[in-house]
A and B are shown apart, each in its own frame.
Chain A
């Protein structure tokens, strides 16, 4: 069982990169502990800026620092970063095209029992709707590392969402297939195409295994790049299959499911089912309890595929 959450993988990449690139700065809003960035603050005190509990300030200050030549990574809980600082992200980061990377930690329903104020089930929709904002939702720590290694080098705005808890590895440490802005194909299939992102990739992969035992062949696509969305892979997978199922830890509107439906509808119409959180405050519970309750698990996904095929 992997014990390293994706947020820690982010810290490790930033820690390394900051040694040689003195322009890398990390900004936190009383969030260094939850972001696993305390080791960065200790190792690079001169490249760390604390702004206090002030997420709007966090994003605008980051944009200002980027304007003056720094490469800021602003880390705060995804719920606050994506909605409290939404206008700062839209205007100061995306519109002004400043090189700010927004790291949304404890995304989705990671904060379980803390309730809707702490859930970020709107961040895909919100961030994807901003022109010039890229949106990434890595699945496991190895993919997170590969993604961050690209992001520390480039010059454009991006929003990255990771969860709080460690998740089982999807990929092997020294053999993680990764191409920037191209979804990763986990397996190919002819009956169903399952397209997932973030923490939902694991149950999607397991669902394909369950389906295989039932004689159903499913492809699984790890769509870590929500924007720019890898449309080509979606079309290719959808064309090869009879039905398409998308799975995400997000509200049912404006996220992966909406975008997949749009692409499939425009290019290769066929039945698409969107699996997501409900359009309601989710029940109280740990993330596992919440996922299971709403069928966002391997059995639920496999069941949905069988329902669509029958």
Chain B
């Protein structure tokens, strides 16, 4: 089997190339969410270029749409479009690879960018799949800052009301948003208990650990009668020492020296993972 841990580091380099080339992007959240996307797309979800029009496929919505660079790099690795083209055209004049997910591109179900939409949309997808007795599972990833949107909790309520056990939400719990710590901006203490109070099954894991994530998604598949939330405790900027846990790297663009240093660190981590 492919070494997914190494893959997550090599895909980060594609993210870096997109952002360094276009001089725009949201690198911190890209790097925190990478293992989540790799686990889902490379192991857990039944989604591929071959079955993208099969109504029985699994569904994924990127609720934290600003992490589009990580999303593009994983979709490209999955074969939906060529990575070279993404890196060359990302955010450029007249490009279809814009700075948020757009469903004119293959592999992308829903447009996003405005936070707090993904979960309620997934409630709709999951409910419809239930009505038609489809085997599809429905996934979305939200940021923890995003949880301040009221629409998130309206979706949380409806998902448990309709007992949508085909729905699995991941919170990229990196504890940072643009203005600093999520706990200073608008805190989410006892996040697990909050979801549980709404009737959800909740699994809290190390969100940059692919084994732990896959175990959580496997467990979610066995849960009956309620939706599952995976609280993925991640590190914003994960993989590059000077970006890790720094709010400023939410959407900073690396200069040449930083770019080179980042490539070096990611390559080292990729190789270490390969030799593990």
Contacts and interface: CB of A to CB of B under 8 A. Distances in A.
* Chains A and B are bound partners: yes
28 contacts: A30-B179, A34-B178, A51-B148, A52-B145, A52-B148, A52-B177, A53-B145, A54-B148, A56-B150, A57-B148, A79-B114, A80-B114, A111-B99, A113-B95, A115-B98, A115-B99, A115-B102, A115-B113, A116-B113, A117-B112, A117-B113, A118-B113, A118-B114, A283-B94, A284-B92, A285-B92, A285-B94, A289-B93
A114 B146 contact: no
Nearest to B187: A52
Interface of B: 22, 24, 65, 91-100, 102, 111-116, 145-146, 148-150, 177-179, 182, 185-186
B60 to A, nearest CB: 18
Given A54-B149, A54-B150, A115-B113, A30 B98 contact: no
In this complex, the interface size class of chain A, counting residues with CB under 8 Å from chain B, is 20 to 34
A53 B115 contact: yes
A44 interface: no
A32 interface: yes
A50 B186 CA distance: 8
Which residue, A51, A115, A116, A293, has most C-beta atoms of chain B within 10 A? Answer: A115
Nearest to A58: B148
A84 interface: yes
A284 B111 CA distance: 15
A215 interface: no
Contact of A113 (B98, B111, B115): B98
Interface string A75-108: 0000110001000000000000000000000000
Nearest to A113: B91
A30 B178 CA distance: 6
Nearest to A286: B93
A267 to B, nearest CB: 39
Contacts of B145: 30, 52-53
B100 A117 contact: yes
A56 B151 CA distance: 10
Contact of A53 (B97, B102, B116): B116
Given A34-B178, A52-B177, A284-B94, 14 more contacts: A29-B148, A32-B179, A52-B148, A53-B146, A54-B186, A56-B150, A57-B150, A113-B22, A113-B24, A113-B92, A114-B98, A114-B99, A117-B65, A284-B95
A283 B111 CA distance: 15
A115 B100 CA distance: 6
B215 to A, nearest CB: 30
A285 B72 CA distance: 18
A117 B114 CA distance: 6
Contacts of A52: 145, 148, 177, 182, 185-186
Contacts of B100: 114-115, 117-118
A64 B130 CA distance: 41
B186 A285 contact: no
Nearest to A54: B148
Given A30-B185, A115-B100, A118-B100, A284 B113 contact: no
B93 A285 contact: yes
Interface in A26-75: 28-34, 50-54, 56-57
A50 B94 CA distance: 36
Given A51-B148, A57-B150, A113 B99 contact: yes
A29 B177 CA distance: 11
Nearest to B93: A285
Nearest to B65: A117
A84 B113 CA distance: 13
Contacts of A284: 91-99
A52 B146 CA distance: 8
Interface in A106-137: 111, 113-118
A30 B145 CA distance: 9
A137 to B, nearest CB: 22
A50 B93 contact: no
A31 B91 CA distance: 22
Nearest to A283: B94
A285 B112 CA distance: 18
Contact of B149 (A33, A34, A53, A113): A53
Contacts of A289: 93
A84 B99 contact: no
Nearest to A51: B186
Contact of A50 (B24, B97, B111, B179): B179
Nearest to A60: B150
Contacts of A113: 22, 24, 91-92, 95, 98-99
- Among all A-B residue pairs, the 9 with the closest Cβ atoms: A52-B186, A117-B113, A52-B148, A113-B91, A114-B99, A115-B98, A54-B148, A285-B93, A117-B114
